[in-house]
Each structure stands twice: as structure tokens, then as C-alpha cells.
Structure 1
Amino acid sequence: MELNRRMLLGGAAATAGSLLMPQVAQANAAANAYFNGYEEDAGYQFRRTNFNRIDPVWRRQMVKYFSPEPPGTVVVDTSNHFLYWIWENNTALRYGVGVGREGFKWYGRARIDRKALWPRWVPPPEMLQRQPDLPRLVEGGAANNPLGPRALYLYRDGSDLGYRLHGTLEPWSIGHDVSSGCVRMFPEDVIDLYQRCPKGTAVLVLEHLGAGAG
């Protein structure tokens, strides 16, 4: 009886595994469709975004933008999932972003006081409490580093707020409320923004759209 029971359980597990395998393969194929090869950058590689799979609204583009903020300011519109880098003459360079999910949203003013090329990732204690299986440290350039090729660290009054503007391993998450408060960008976009924003750049995170965009 015990042998028959083991055989039955083993057969059930094998059947369940065989049923799951096509689903896993389909999910992997769907995720891989968002990538298009690899890009070399500063001695590391990242998976290049397949922008043919991305809704054009989330692609980096110049737009008309009316804001009282001075040129060179970063404005994050969390409601509509856009980040604006303010230019002159009521224009801005607009990027699609992913922002904090419910319970992890934040708003207000900050400043970029630190920038990192291929940053390492150290999950904050609060995140480790929620997800104790997370690694305690992921080195910069590692394939599983969620910050990607760049990170811009947000400070207020000299204190690290714990939030960053950074890349993502999940391009399909752009345009959604997905993070623990950080602002996610396509790897190509965070590289572009990193080059434009020196330390000291002012950042305004809006709860609601506080300026006019077109």
C-alpha cells in the first residue's frame, strides 16, 4: 500500500509539473519579447529594451509642458506615470516611469545628492521584513540587480530619503504602480537622464498633475 501511495503521489507531482511547464514557458517567452539583445555599458551588459513592444506613450520624447519649475528640474507626475526634465520655452523631455504601488507612494520635494554608475543594491530593512528571502546585497552589474545601470539618490535636508530614480529589469512595469516608492525607468532612459542631471538637481514628485502637459 505504501509503495502504491508513493507511486500515486509521485505520478500526481509529475503530472502537475508537466501541466505547469507550458505555462512557465509561455510566461518566459512573453517576458523575453520585451528585450532585444544586449547593450554594452561601462564594462557591463544590460538587456536592451524592445521598444517595438512598448506603447509609444511611454517612450522618451519632447513635449510641450507648462510648469513654474525652472529648467533643469525633474518633475515626476505619479498619477500619469511620467517624469519630465524641464527645458526652456515651455517644453520638457518626457519619460515613461513606474511609480510606487498603493501603500508605498510618496510626494514632495527632494534633491539628487548622489549618483551611481552600475550601483549595487542593498534592500532596506523594511523590504527585508516583507520579503526575508531577498539577498542582502547584489553587486552592481549583476543580472538580478533591480537598479540596472544607473541610480540617482534622492535626499532632503541632507538626509537620504531611501528613494531612487533607477533602471528596471521589467520593462513591462513602466506605466504602472509597481515599486516600493522608487521611480523606475527603462535602462536606456535612466542612462540618458543620468547624463543630464548633475548633483544638486531639484526633484518634485507630484501627487496629482500640477502642471499642464501636451
Structure 2
Amino acid sequence: MIVDETEDRARPESGRLNRRAFLVGSAAAVGALGLAGCTSFGGGPVMSYAEAEKVYGPVPDERFPIPAVNVKKINPKYFRRTVRYDSKEAVGTIIVDPRNYYVYRIAGDGYATRYGANVGRDGFRWSGDAYVGRKAEWPVWTPPKEMIARQPEAAKYAGGMAPGLDNPLGARTLYLYQNGVYTLYTIYSTRVAETIGKGISSGCIGLLTQDMLDLYEKTPVNTKVVVLKA
């Protein structure tokens, strides 16, 4: 069984993410953020389970039809919601709050769309600024050699795992870059409802597929992504 929901990664020793700095079994923070003053407070009401069943219902018209989410497996505080969020970042900026398991998309006028998320587990958390270098619908997933070394059962996907519902990256993926270099970190989609609000990945950020479809559609390449310190 492959424990990691997405590509394995470790953190660099320097203040930014760097492919050459990835070491097996290690992870580290990537610099402090100058975002003092960012606060989140009230906004739209939390969805009821009945409302959530509609928002997180099946998506039959996709390349691989997406089933409904079992919303009863999720704390309602992680349902998609419009909230008040003071930030100096531009509209469209994505801010990841791993401590509280949220992803925000800045909407302007002091508001943001907030999504529940899963984040990196202990030892694989990181922080810093990046940007969306590319996007993909139904991507291929290729486990890096570090993951295969730890989990030999992943070796059968060394040439890439075909897109589909069982692919760890899911239906949509935003690939995070720094200075023109892919960091090996992503924001990806997951069908596993019980992972939301938990640290389970190797540093990537996962949203429910229906939430990821929403964020993906609104996020162009070169969008800034800020990952706060956990």
C-alpha cells in the first residue's frame, strides 16, 4: 500500500525549495513570511450537511466521472465558505494555512474563499512563497526515487501512473514553482474525505475534488501561492 497521497518530497537546507536539496526522510521550513496582520474572521454561514451534499455531489461529465463526497466524514468547518480575510495580497492569491488546515483564495474587499485541506504530515511540512508554474487536468503521477526507496511497492509506477480516480493527484493539480524550477510540491485533488483536516501527505496540499475544480478554474498560471508556517 502506498501511504503517501502524492509525490514524495523532502525539504531543502537553504531558504528556498531546490530539487538538489531534497533528501530522503527530511523536510524543512522554507523561510519566514512577511504576512503579519493577515487575519480570518466571520463570513458566510457554515454549510449544513444537506447543503454540502449538493455542493459536493457527483460530477458525471468529467473524463472520469467523479462520485459524490461522503460529507458526513468531514467536520463542517472544512466545507467551502466565503469568509472575511484581511490581507495585502492581490486578488487571486492562494494562501495555505497548514496549522488550521485551510486554503484561502483572496477575493478582494476583505474576503476570501476558504477550502478545507489536508497538509504535510510531521517532518514534511514547509513554508514559503511560490507560484503556479503549470496546471494539469487528470495528470500522470510519477513517484520520485526517494519515495520508491522507502516504499518499494511504488516502483511499479516509476514510469508514471495513468490518470484516473485512483491516481493520487486526482482530477486537477497545480504545480508549484520557484524561480522557474518545479519544487516537487503541488496543490492536488483528493476523493478521500477523511483526510481533510489532517497532516497526511509528503508536503503537498490536498483539497476535495469538488473544491479543487472550483479553485483550479479560478487560478491562472503564475498565480502567487503563500504557504504559512505551521
When normalised by structure 2's length, the TM-score is 0.71
In the aligned structure 2, how far is the partner of 1:46 from the partner of 1:123? 23
Cα offset, 1:76, TM superposition: 0.2
Secondary structure of 1:105's counterpart equals coil
How many positions carry a matched residue from both structures?
Answer: 173
AA aligned to 1:139 is: A
Question: Can you list the C-alpha shifts for 1:62-113, whole angstroms capped at 9, x where unaligned?
Answer: 0000112111100000100100000111100000000000111111000001
Does structure 2 retain, via aligned residues, the 8 Å contact 1:83–1:95?
Answer: yes
In the aligned structure 2, how far is the partner of 1:194 from the partner of 1:172? 22
In the aligned structure 2, how far is the partner of 1:64 from the partner of 1:151? 26
Q: CA RMSD in A?
A: 1.7
Residue ranges of structure 1 left out of the alignment (5+ in a row): 1-33, 209-214
The verdict on how the C-alpha distance between 1:163 and 1:41 changes in structure 2, with shifts beyond 3 A counting, is: farther
1:177 corresponds to which of 196, 199, 203: 199
- Counterpart of 2:91? 71
2:223 corresponds to which of 180, 201, 209: 201
Counterparts of residues 85-96 of structure 1 (less than 5 Å): 85-96=105-116
Does structure 1 retain, via aligned residues, the 8 Å contact 2:97–2:228?
Answer: yes
More divergent stretch after superposition (128-137 vs 183-192) = 128-137
Does structure 2 retain, via aligned residues, the 8 Å contact 1:98–1:184?
Answer: yes
Cα offset, 1:196, TM superposition: 0.5
Does structure 1 retain, via aligned residues, the 8 Å contact 2:134–2:174?
Answer: yes
2:126 corresponds to which of 86, 90, 106: 106
AA aligned to 1:161 is: T
Residue 60 of structure 1 pairs with residue 80 of structure 2: yes
AA aligned to 2:214 is: D
Does structure 2 retain, via aligned residues, the 8 Å contact 1:99–1:179?
Answer: yes
- Counterpart of 1:140? 163
Secondary structure of 1:87's counterpart equals strand
- Counterpart of 1:7? none
Which structure has the highest strand share of the two?
1
Cα offset, 1:37, TM superposition: 7.8
- Counterpart of 1:51? 71
Cα offset, 1:46, TM superposition: 2.4
AA aligned to 2:162 is: E
Secondary structure of 2:148's counterpart equals helix
1:128 corresponds to which of 148, 151, 163: 148
When normalised by structure 1's length, the TM-score is 0.77
- Counterpart of 2:214? 192
Q: How many percent identity over aligned positions?
A: 40
Does structure 1 retain, via aligned residues, the 8 Å contact 2:84–2:111?
Answer: yes
In the aligned structure 2, how far is the partner of 1:102 from the partner of 1:61? 27
Does structure 1 retain, via aligned residues, the 8 Å contact 2:71–2:193?
Answer: no
Residue ranges of structure 2 left out of the alignment (5+ in a row): 1-52
Counterparts of residues 3-42 of structure 1 (less than 5 Å): 38-42=58-62
Which structure has the highest helix share of the two?
1
Higher radius of gyration, 1 or 2: 1
